[in-house]
């Protein structure tokens, strides 16, 4: 297991996962997903809030996350080259909205697949295996706030 240090992006997949088709579809549906992610009734999707590395602007992105005792496990469905991951590494953390609450989180650290899969529901584990997702990060809680 290797931990990503500040300003370091550790590649999980060297190519654009799923040939870019699913990635492009996800980009088109992001506004719709953000409307559903992070809500109190949605235990699967969260919204990560991150500050742009160059722009300094606040951005949001929907992600698949599971709560653990000390933070969250997040799947890197599109690899570690996605902006939200690179921005969290560069900034040393950000925030995550999950189930109606806002969590201040620290920087992401890569974790192995076996450890990560234990945090997910059995049905989600099956879908993760079928999709071939092999990259996961853990983010630790810094502070919890009501959304």
Predicted pLDDT at 131: 81
What are the boundaries of each domain within the chain? 17-140
Please state, in angstroms and as integers, the Cα–Cα distance from residue 24 to each residue in 16, 72, 80, 133, following that order. 10, 26, 16, 17
Phi, psi for residue 67 in degrees, rounded to 5:
-75, 140
The residues, ordered by sequence, that sit 6+ positions from 145 with a Cβ below 8 Å of its Cβ are 101, 102, 103, 104
CB contact set of 24 (below 8 Å; sequence gap of 6+): none
Rounded CA-CA distance 72/55 in Å is 26
pLDDT tens, residue by residue, 92-107: 999 999 888 999 999 9
Superfamily of domain 17-140: Electron Transport, Fmn-binding Protein; Chain A (2.30.110.10)
Q: Which pTM does this prediction carry? A: 0.74
Residue whose C-alpha is closest to residue 17's, from 60, 64, 77, 70: 77
Q: Which residue has the higher pLDDT, 14 or 58?
A: 58
Tens-digit pLDDT profile for residues 39-54: 666 577 889 999 999 9
**What is the distance, to the nearest Å, from the Cα of residue 73 to the centroid of all Cα atoms in its chain?**
8
Average pLDDT of span 18-28: 57
1 strand-pairing partners: none
Which of 129, 103, 104 is CA-nearest to residue 114?
Answer: 129
């Amino acid at each position: 297991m290797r931990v990503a240090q500040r300003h370091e992006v550790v590649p999980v997949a060297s190519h654009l996962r799923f040939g870019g088709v699913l990635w492009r579809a996800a980009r088109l549906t992001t506004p719709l997903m953000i409307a559903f992610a992070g809500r109190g009734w949605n235990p699967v999707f969260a919204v990560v809030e991150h500050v742009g590395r160059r722009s300094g602007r606040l951005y949001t992105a929907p992600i698949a996350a599971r709560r653990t005792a000390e933070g969250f496990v997040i799947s890197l469905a599109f690899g570690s080259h996605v902006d939200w991951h690179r921005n969290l590494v560069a900034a040393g953390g950000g925030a995550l909205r999950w189930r109606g609450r806002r969590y201040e989180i620290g920087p992401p650290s890569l974790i192995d697949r076996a450890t990560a899969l234990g945090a997910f529901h059995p049905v989600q584990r099956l879908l993760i295996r079928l999709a071939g997702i092999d990259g996961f990060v853990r983010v630790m809680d810094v502070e919890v706030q009501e959304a």
